[in-house]
Amino acid sequence: MKKSLILFAALLSLAACTNTSDKNVADIQGIDSSIKPGDNFFMYVNKKWYDTAQIPPSQAGVGAYMFMNYPQRLRLQGILDSVSKANNTAGSIEQKLGDFYASGMDTITINNRGYDPVKPILTRIDSISDVASLLKFVTAEAKTNNTSIIAFGVGPDNKNSDLNIAHISQTGIGLPERDYYFRTDAPSVAVQQAYKVYLATLFELTGSDTSTSTKDADIVYNIDKQLASSHKTNIELRDVNANYNKMPVTDLAKRQPNIGWVNVLNDLGAKTDSIDVSQPTYYDKLNAVLKTIPISEWKIYLKAYTISAYTDMLSKPFVDAAFEFSKVLSGQAVQKTRGEIMASTIDQSLGEALGQLYVKKYFTEDAKKRALDLVNNLQKAFAARIDKLDWMSDSTKQKAKEKLFAITKKIGYPDKWRDYSNVTVVKDKYFENVVSAASDNYQFQLAKLNKPVDRTEWFTTPSTVTAYYNPYANEIVFPAAILQSPYFDNNADDALNYGGIGMVIGHEMTHAFDDQGAQFDKNGNVENWWTKDDYTKFKAKTQQVVDLYNTFTVLDTVHIKGAMTLGENTADIGGVAIAYDAFKMTKEGQDSTKIGGFTPDQRFYISVARIWRVKMKDEFMRLWVNNNPHSLPMWRVNGPLMNAPHFYDAFNVQPGDKMYVPEDKRIQIW
C-alpha cells in the first residue's frame, strides 16, 4: 500500500579559506533578543520568523530542510512545462519528459477514464482460486511497483559489499508502521478510523454499496493488523545484524512451505540460490495466514492494495480519497497543484533524465569543485578530532582514519546518466506511462542480481534537497540541489557556510561512525574493526545520546524517540563539532572581528540554527516523531549545541540556563 516514505538527510559543503573582505557578507536578521540564547537557541534565532511564517495550504510545513523541495518542484515544473511545449525528437529524454508531463496534466482524459485502467487488474484478482494463484498475482504486480505482501529488492550483501544479492523485507500494511495498529491514544485512533474510511471509499468508488464497502474495509484492516503484529518496530529495524539473515532458498522454502519460494522467485525473475530475509518473523507470519485467512478475504485485501497503489493515476474521486486520508496523517490542508504533483512523480519515475535538464540550467562546475574542496576540508578536521580522542586506543584510531579517508565523495550529479530507452511514454496515457517507468525500474534493479555492485550509482536525484551516507559503499553523496542557501552561499562569509553546509558535511561523515555506520568497515562490509574495550566505550557514549534525546518533549507528552533517532543525533553532534574545528582553520575563524554585531563564532552557531528553520503542522510532527529517524528541527539545533563547549563561550551560557549541561556531562563521541 502507499506509504509516506519520509526520506530526509543532512547536507553538505564547506567554504574555503577566504578573506571576508573579498566577498559579500550576509546580514544576520530576525534575532529575538527577548529569548536568552542559552534557554532556546533555535527560537532565539528563528522565533520572529516562526511566528510570522505561513505554511502553504498545500504543504505540511515550511522553511528549510525537506521543505526546500517545495520550491524545487516549482523549478522542475518550469522545466517540464517548457519541454512539454517543444517539438522534441522522438525517443529523446526531452520527448519522454515532456509527454509524460503532458499526460499527467491532462486531467480531462484522466477523469474520463475513471478507474478503467485498473479494471483488468481487478478482474485478474477475481480469478484467484488458491494460494498458488494468489502469489502468482502478487509477484506479477510487484514488477510494476504494486507491492502487497512480498517486498523484494536487490542490493549489496552486508558481508560482501562488492556483490548485489536478493533481499526481502517486511511489508503488507497500509499505515506507516506497526504501532499505529496497536496504540489507543486519540491521534492514533483518528488515523485508524481515517484509514478504514479511505479503504471503504475505494470500494465504493469501484462499485460496492456502503454496507459491503464498510465490511470489506474491516477485512482489509484486520489482515493488516495480523501482519503488523509480526513487524519489527522502527527501533528494532536499526539493529544491523538482526536484520541480516542470508540463507539458502531451499532452507527458506522448507521453513515457509505455503509461500512456495522457488515459484515466487522464478515468477519474480530472480535466479538465485540464496536470499537475505531481513525480517524472517514477518514471512513466518505470512506463511501461516496464507492458510488461515480465506482466499475470498485475500482477494478483497488485494483489491484494496491495488486500487490504493494507483489512486494518484486515476480520476479525481480516487485522488481526493487518498488526500483525505493523508490529510489526517500530515495536517496538509489542501492538495498540491497538479503541476507540483507531476514534477514530483516524474522526478521519481525518470529522475536522472529530469536531473540532466536541472543540472544544465541550475548547477555549475564551479559549484561542484567548490563543494568538493569543502568536503576535503572537513575530512581533515575530522581526522584531527580522531587523533585527539581520549577514549579510543591508537589501533582503533588508525582504523577509523583509514575508513574516513576511504570515503568516496559524490557531488552534484552522477558521472554517467541512467538510460531510459526502454520506458514507453505516450502523451495521452498517463497511467500506462507510470506503469512503464515502474516496470523499467524493476528490471533495472533485477539486472543487478548476483552482479558486482556499481559504485557509481546514485540513490537520489540531482534535483532533490538532501544528502546521504551509504555504509555499503562508504560514500557521501551531495546532490546539486543542496548546494544553495541557506546551506551554501558562495558569497557568504566563512562562518555562515561552515555553520550551514559545513555542519551538514560533518553530519554525513559522522554517519560512517554512528551506531550503525560504525559496524561497517572501510569497504562497506559489516565487519568489526574495533577493539572490544573501545567498542564498549563507544556503546556507552551512544547510550548517553539516547538518554538525552528521550528527555526532549515535542507535543504534550510526546517525546523524541532517542533509540530510533540515535544515528542522526550522533551525526548532528559530530557534525557541529567537526564543522566548528574546520571553521577555526580559516582566517575568519581565527579572527574576532564582529560582522552585523556578532563575532565569527556567534555567526557560525546562528547559521547552524538557520539551516533547520522549519515550521510544521502538529499532525506532521506526530507522523515525524513516529517514523522519521531524525529529531525534529528544533532539537537538531538545541541538542548538539547543548554539548558544544564553544557554544557556551560564544553566548555566555551559564548554569540556570535551560540548555546548560554541566561540562562533565556533555557528550562528545567524535
Same domain, 296 and 382: no
Q: Decide if 642 contacts 665 (C-beta within 8 A).
A: no
How much is the average pLDDT of 233-260?
98
Bond from prior residue into 486 cis (ω within 30 degrees of 0): yes
pLDDT of residue 368: 86
| The residue to which cell 560564544 is assigned | 650
Domain that holds residue 465: 30-59+364-414+458-665
How much is the average pLDDT of 529-555?
97
Domain boundary (277, 293, 314) is at 314
Q: Which grid coordinates belong to 72?
A: 524545487
Residue 10 has pLDDT above 90, yes or no: no
Q: Decide if 350 contacts 437 (C-beta within 8 A).
A: yes
Beta bridge partner(s), residue 469: 476
Beta strands, E only, 465-507: 468-470, 475-479
Q: What are phi and psi of 412, to 5 degrees?
A: 90, -65
In a domain, 173, yes or no: yes
Beta strands, E only, 551-647: 553-555, 558-559, 614-616
How much is the average pLDDT of 639-646?
98
Beta bridge partner(s), residue 70: none
Residue 33 has pLDDT above 70, yes or no: yes
Domain boundary (314, 344, 375) is at 314
Q: What are phi and psi of 58, to 5 degrees?
A: -90, 5
Strands 151-157 and 160-169: antiparallel
How much is the average pLDDT of 600-607?
97
What is residue 152's three-state secondary structure? strand
Using CA atoms of 498, 500, 504, 507 in order, give the dihedral in degrees to the nearest 10.
70
**Residue 247: C-alpha distances to residues 168, 244, 256 (Å):** 11, 10, 13
- The CA distance from 166 to 155, in Å, is 7
Q: Specify the amino acid at residue 343.
A: A
Q: Give residue-wise pLDDT tens across range 447-462.
A: 999 999 999 999 999 9
In a domain, 221, yes or no: yes
Residue 1 has pLDDT above 60, yes or no: no
Weakest-pLDDT range from 26-40, 170-184, 294-308: 26-40
In a domain, 214, yes or no: yes
The DSSP call for residue 224 is: H
In a domain, 388, yes or no: yes
Q: Decide if 653 contacts 660 (C-beta within 8 A).
A: yes
In a domain, 100, yes or no: no
In a domain, 22, yes or no: no
- The CA distance from 528 to 570, in Å, is 19
In a domain, 327, yes or no: no
* Positive or negative: CA dihedral 471, 474, 478, 479: negative
Q: What are phi and psi of 174, to 5 degrees?
A: -95, -20
Q: What are phi and psi of 470, to 5 degrees?
A: -110, 105
What is the DSSP secondary-structure string of 612-632?
T-EEE-HHHHHHHHHH-SSPP
Q: Quote the number of domains for the chain.
A: 2
Same domain, 524 and 624: yes
pLDDT of residue 20: 36
Strands 246-248 and 274-277: antiparallel
Q: Decide if 449 contacts 271 (C-beta within 8 A).
A: yes
In a domain, 567, yes or no: yes
Same domain, 304 and 170: yes
Q: Give residue-wise pLDDT tens across range 277-322.
A: 999 999 999 999 999 999 999 999 999 999 999 999 999 999 999 9
Q: Give residue-wise pLDDT tens across range 500-510.
A: 999 999 999 99
Weakest-pLDDT range from 3-17, 568-582, 608-622: 3-17
Same domain, 393 and 307: no
Query: What average pLDDT does the chain have?
Result: 94
pLDDT of residue 23: 46
Q: What share of the chain is helix, strand, coil (3-state, %, to 5)?
A: 55, 10, 35
Same domain, 178 and 248: yes
Same domain, 310 and 373: no
Q: Give residue-wise pLDDT tens across range 54-96.
A: 999 999 999 998 899 999 999 999 999 999 999 999 999 999 9
Same domain, 308 and 383: no
List the end-to-end C-alpha distance of the chain, in Å, as a whole number. 40
Q: How far is CA 385 from the centre of its chain?
A: 29
Closest by CA to 618, choosing from 190, 331, 334, is 331
Confidence band for 26, pLDDT divided at 50, 70 and 90: low
CATH number at residue 535: 3.40.390.10
Q: Give residue-wise pLDDT tens across range 509-520.
A: 999 999 999 999
pLDDT of residue 229: 98
Weakest-pLDDT range from 67-71, 154-158, 194-198, 326-330: 67-71
Using the CB atoms, write b or e for 6-20: b if 16+ within 10 Å.
Answer: eeebbbbbbbeeeeb
Weakest-pLDDT range from 208-217, 262-271, 369-378, 386-395: 369-378
- The CA distance from 484 to 226, in Å, is 46
pLDDT of residue 96: 98
pLDDT of residue 66: 87
Q: Specify the amino acid at residue 322.
A: A
Residue 372 has pLDDT above 50, yes or no: yes
| The residue to which cell 507470519 is assigned | 285
Q: Give residue-wise pLDDT tens across range 91-101.
A: 999 999 999 99
What is the DSSP secondary-structure string of 254-266?
HHSTTT-HHHHHH
Same domain, 48 and 157: no
Same domain, 374 and 294: no
- The CA distance from 100 to 339, in Å, is 12
Same domain, 516 and 656: yes
pLDDT of residue 381: 97
Counting DSSP H helices and E strands in the chain, the numbers are 26, 11
| Residues 6+ positions from 34 with CB-CB distance below 8 Å | none
Q: Give residue-wise pLDDT tens across range 467-497.
A: 999 999 999 999 999 999 899 988 888 999 9
Residue 24 has pLDDT above 80, yes or no: no
pTM, to two decimals: 0.92
CATH number at residue 158: 1.10.1380.10
Residue 6 has pLDDT above 80, yes or no: no
| Residues 6+ positions from 649 with CB-CB distance below 8 Å | 601
Domain boundary (280, 296, 314) is at 314
Same domain, 301 and 373: no
Same domain, 53 and 152: no
